């Protein structure tokens, strides 16, 4: 996938649609952040864009396990 690709915006929207917050709101009617396994929609989009922007040149930029703040 490349920046500016027409399908990019759809892929980002897809990632927004599958955050733990969105899934919980749809299935339970409420959000319980303590039970998140994969991050909020905004966190998922931020990490997706970081990987996209890096073009795979610096994989360490995409390490979502080491930062002090997500």
* pLDDT tens, residue order, the chain (70 aa): 555 554 555 666 665 677 889 889 889 999 898 888 888 888 888 888 887 887 767 777 777 777 766 6
Predicted local distance difference test score (pLDDT) of residue 3: 55
Predicted local distance difference test score (pLDDT) of residue 14: 65
Closest listed residue to residue 41, CA positions, set 11, 8, 16: 16
| Boundaries of every domain in the chain | 6-62
Q: Flag whether the pTM goes above 0.75.
A: no
Closest listed residue to residue 33, CA positions, set 16, 46, 15, 20: 20
Give per-residue burial for 38-70: e unless 16+ CB within 10 Å, then b.
ebbbebbbebbeebbeeeeeeeeeeeeeeeeee
Predicted local distance difference test score (pLDDT) of residue 60: 74
Predicted local distance difference test score (pLDDT) of residue 69: 66
For 43, 62, 63, 66, the CA distances from 69, given in Å and listed in that order, are: 10, 13, 12, 9
């Amino acid at each position: 996938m490349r920046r500016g690709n027409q399908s990019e915006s759809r892929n980002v929207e897809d990632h927004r649609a599958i955050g733990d917050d969105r899934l919980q709101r749809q299935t339970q009617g409420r959000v319980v952040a303590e039970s998140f396994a994969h991050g909020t929609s905004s966190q998922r989009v931020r990490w997706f864009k970081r990987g996209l922007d890096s073009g795979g040149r610096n994989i360490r930029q995409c390490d979502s396990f080491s930062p002090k703040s997500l």
